[in-house]
Every structure is written in C-alpha cells, then in structure tokens.
Amino acid sequence: MNRKLFITSILLLTVVASTNTFAQVKILAWNDEFNYTGLPAEDKWGYDVGGGGWGNNELQYYTNARTENARVENGNLIIEARKEQYEGNEYTSARLVSRHKGDWLYGRIETYAKLPSGTGTWPAIWMLPTNWVYGSWPKSGEIDIMEYVGFDPGIVHGSIHTEDYNHIIGTQKTATCTIPDAETAFHLYALEWTSEKIDIYVDDNKYFTFPNEHKDYKTWPFDQLFHLILNIAVGGNWGGMQGVDPNIWPQKMYVDYVRVYQYIDVSALTVTGPEYVTPNQTGITFSIQNVTDATFTWCVPADATIINGQGTNSIVVNWGSTPGDVTVEITHPQAGGTYTRTVKTTVIPSGDRFSLLNVKENGLMGWAGLNTSPNIITLSQADTLLRVDYAITKPEDFPYFTYSFPNPVDMSNLTVLNIEMMTYNKSQSVVLRADLFDTDGRLTDVSPVFRFYPVEPNGVYHFYSFDFNNKWGSNTPEYGRQVNYHQIAGVRFYVNYGIYGKVASDSLWFSDILLSNTLLSSPYAKENSMLKFDIYPNPASTYIKINSNNLSSNVIIRIVNIAGIVVKEITAIPDSEISISDLPKGFYSLKILINGYTYLGNFIKL
C-alpha cells in the first residue's frame, strides 16, 4: 500500500470511529399528550398562583388547581380565563409551569395549540430560568416561544429577553409571524435551542433566530436550565393597550400536546428499572430513552411476563422467581442494538436457619479486602473456610472488609445475624463489628451496633450473634434513615478499628454466616476451668501424650490445624502415645470432647 493511500485509509477509519463514538440521537425527553381527564398531571405541572399584576399591571388572579381555570378534557388541556370576582381581582386564569418537573438545557420544545380571541386576551407559551443563576429578570433571561395579544389578531410574536436585550431599554430581540386562523385552528409553536442559537417556529416556518454572540451572560444567559409556562393573562401593559372587552369571557387556550426533544449520545442510552426485585413482584417498570422514529422489542426472563408496553420505550412487568436480564432491541439507524439491565431476585429464606456463606463452592466471590496503605486486610480461601489477615497501623481510619451477598436477602423473618468465627488473638488486637447494608448502601450503624464481645481467643469456633429486629436505624449515607431489611445486600466487618483498635497484625477464620430467628451458640465452645491437662513433649516431632488426673477412660481427641480444620480424630486413653508423625510442621490445637464440653490444649509439631 502506498503512503498516500495508507494515510487516506487511516483518516477514513478515524472519521468513521469518531462518527460512531459521538453519534447522537433525538429522544422524546418529556411530554404530556393530555389523554386523561381532570386537573393537569401533578407529576408534570405546577401552578404560579396569585394576583397583583405580575409586573405588567395584569388584571387576573392565577388560581391553584382549579378546574374552572385549568383542566383536561376531550384530549386537550384547556386554560380558561374568566370574568369573576376572586381574591380582590376581576378575572381568574391559570399559569401552568413545569418548574422542577420539567427543566431543560437545550432541545426542541413543541406545543400544539389553539389561541383565545378578543381584546384584552394575552396568551403565552414561554420559558423562564429555573434557578435564576445570573440574577432577577431580565438578567437570567426569558424565552417567548409564542405571545399573542387579542387586539392584534393573526399576529404571533417570538422574542427573547436578556440584560442587554429587553423591551425596558428598547433593545428587545423579537419577530412576528402572520397566522390568520390562530384563534380557530391548532398550530405547532416550537423552539429549537442549542448552545449556539435559539430558533422559533410556527409549524415548519422558522421566523426568528437569536444567535449566541459568545460574550457573557448579559447577551446569552441561555446556558442554564429553563422550564415551560402556559398561561392566559388578562389586560396588562401590552395585552390591555386597547382596553379589555368585558363581553368576550370566558376565553380558552386549547393545547393538544406538549413535547420536549433532546439530543443525547448513543452511549448514554440505558435501560432503567430496579436492579433488585422480590420473587413474584408485580407492576415493575423498565424503560429506555424514547428514541424518535425507533422501534422497541423487549425480552424478559422466561418466568416473567410483560403486561403492558411491548413495542414502546417502557414496559410493565410481573416478575417470576428467578433473576435474569431485561433486554430491549432497538431498530434505528444510529441507535440500533440490544440494551440490557441485569436484575437480581431477592432471596426469601425458608426454615429457621439460612446460610449465607459457601466458600467451598464460591471461593472469594463477593468478598473485598482493604489494600489502602497503611492499613491492609487480605482474604484467602482455606478449603471450606475464609481466612482474614490484617495489618493495621491506623485504627482511626476504621478499616473494614466486606461481603456482598450473591443476591439480596429479605431479613423480615430471620432477623438474627450469626457469624461463626475463630481466632487465636495472639496480638490481643481482635476487635470486630458487623454492619449490614441494603441495596441502597444504607448501613446499620445506629446504636446499638453488632460488636463481637467478648472475642474468644482460644482457636475454637464461636457463634457471635446479634438480633437486628427493630434495630435497622442508619446514619450512612444519610442521617436518620432506616435500612431496607427486605433487601439486605451484604455485611461490612470493621476490624481492629477506632478507639478499640491498636497498631497490630493478626488473623481470623470464618466458617459460616447464618441467619436465624434465635441467637445461636456453639456447644463445643463451653469451657471448664476445673479440668487441667498437659501435652508433652511439646514441641514434638513424632508423638505426644496427654497427662491429666481428671481423665481416666477413653476420650475423643481431635487435632485441629491453624486454619481450624480437623486433621485427626481418635479415641484414646490418657497418657497413651498419639502419633503426629504424619502431620506437617506447625501450630496445632488439641480438643478433648466430654459430655458436650470441649477442653483445649496447644502444641507445636517440629
């Protein structure tokens, strides 16, 4: 390949890659089709309420959620201005706002509407800033998509207002469009707003453009969130310039729909919906952004059912009993592909005990240590056991390790958490606490907490148990909340931490993590200080003996390695030789079991 052709190919590949990487698609970000009856939808619309002229000497009182002034019927939103005494005003009307329910930076806003008529009417479809970042009007800007005054029929106005461009100082930027049947027919009033300019349309006719001069906020405050306003004013400085006809009321503005479109990167397309569900949960919604001119085909796990929405960008699902993927295949020139959300099913334990730990089969899956200097916590698998080694030099950092369950667990019935653990605690530094956390990351960190106390240092497994019933308070990550005990996601173990901790290293072994409805205890964890026995020789290489005046008959003897695994079990007479020649070198515990009690000794194999 010659050099020129090679460079051309590279440039072509770069262009293609860039096009795919930064491809944008148009989505329907917000809309109201008004296909219901009654007051405007609360999740989409609020109200500006009051009289006082609204800065323009207007005559109406804007009411709050009053069907006489704002209602949806026959597929249309109706805003109605009426001549009636109300709160000291002669007229009533409504001013609907999408503030904090629909706020946007850039996009295309469409309103398909039919306007009122008559001298004194002043309907508007317009936008104001949500946060007024640059100051009060007109510093933070205003966008008038459509204004209309009844004394000048058939003329629609589009305008912008900024600190440098506004009608108060005679510099307002505006334009008009002639629409002879604006009062008798529906028309599409639209805004297209980017970082570079604002265009205003009636139907497909763009009649006004306001460019970004790239100076400062005084000419372009339109880099912040704005919301939509729909209203009819009565009279006022402009609407009432030729008076108000008292014989034309009531007057209505009809709106067939409002739609807001935005452009997003294809990489931002995401299936939303719960990550965790309970078995047989119903009415679960999954959605993806509503890409315009696309088709949507959804799939759910075999035992789940789509009950509504197939073919649209949002479905409602009745779940089954198994976890799985919710996928949607989009057919579209730019956005085409399959998008997935993995859903886990919450486990509802059965019986009076439920084990959460299976190191033998799952290894270290779900476990996470701590590798942030200067504190180090490492985890390893020892056959069926989990081994935890720690080296803590800053206990005040509250070092911890975590176990995230394979699936969330409902603890509404089994509220007791039991940790089966052993340690030799040679450093005398083993201080442990366990906080459960839910799928939203809330921790059970309100007093009382589950602290392992006292920690038994004798190399024998003990159950450390805590009943979380009515102890679900949480201050992390938000103060004064409650952990969702229906979706417990895991447990965080603080080790050698806080004021209880000290600079030290040591190790722990975990055998099981159990849920139960009662506190558990290990029968072999009982001790009898009256029984004394010696192991000799110690250290030893080939055999050991047990010497005790309190042992006179055959007893069961177990030898346990440092990982807590029983490596030898025999029945023997005290003072007889017990062979250890087959054992690897190391530290061992010797357990004698009598009547449910376990008596302990330690020895070293050379």
If one counts every other C-beta atom within 10 angstroms of the C-beta of residue 228, the result is 27
Query: Please, are residues 507 and 421 in contact by the beta-carbon 8 Å criterion?
Result: no
Q: Which residues pair with 232 in a beta bridge?
A: 123
- Contact assessment for residue 181 and residue 155, using Cβ atoms and an 8 Å cutoff: no
- Beta strand 305-308 with 337-345: parallel, antiparallel or unpaired? unpaired
Enumerate the β-bridge partners of residue 46: 97
C-alpha–C-alpha distance, residues 592 and 575, integer Å: 13
Residue 84 annotated as catalytic? no
Residues 6+ apart with CB under 8 A from 372: none
DSSP conformational letter for 69? T
Is there a catalytic annotation at residue 142? yes
Distance CA 556, CA 322 (A): 46
Residue 526 is which amino acid?
Answer: K
Pick from 503, 498, 425, 512: which is nearest to 462 by CA?
512
* Cα distances (angstroms) measured from residue 566 to each of 63, 184, 389, 586: 79, 91, 21, 14
Decide: 513 and 401 in contact? Cβ < 8 Å: no
Q: Which entry of 58, 147, 163, 456 is annotated as an active-site residue?
A: 147
Sheet holding 324-331, edge to edge: 276-277, 337-345, 324-331, 295-299
Residue 562 to residue 585: CA distance in whole angstroms: 11
Asked if 346 and 407 touch (Cβ cutoff 8 Å), the reply is yes
* Cβ proximity of 158 and 200 under 8 Å: yes
Among 292, 299, 291, smallest CA distance to 338 is for 299
Strand partners, 73: 76
Burial class (CB in 10 A: 0-12, 13-18, 19+), 440: middle
* CA-to-CA separations, 74 to 35, 71, 78, 79, 303, in angstroms, rounded: 8, 10, 10, 13, 39
- Say which of 110, 142, 163, 456 is annotated catalytic: 142
Q: Give the integer Cα–Cα distance in Å for 130 and 93.
A: 22
Using alpha carbons, select from 272, 282, 106, 65 the residue that is nearest to residue 194.
Answer: 106
Q: Other CB atoms closer than 10 Å to residue 115's CB: what's the count? A: 27
Q: Say how far residue 362 (Cα) sits from the centre of its chain.
A: 28
Alpha-carbon gap, residue 508 to 382, rounded angstroms: 11
Please give the positions annotated as active site. 142, 147
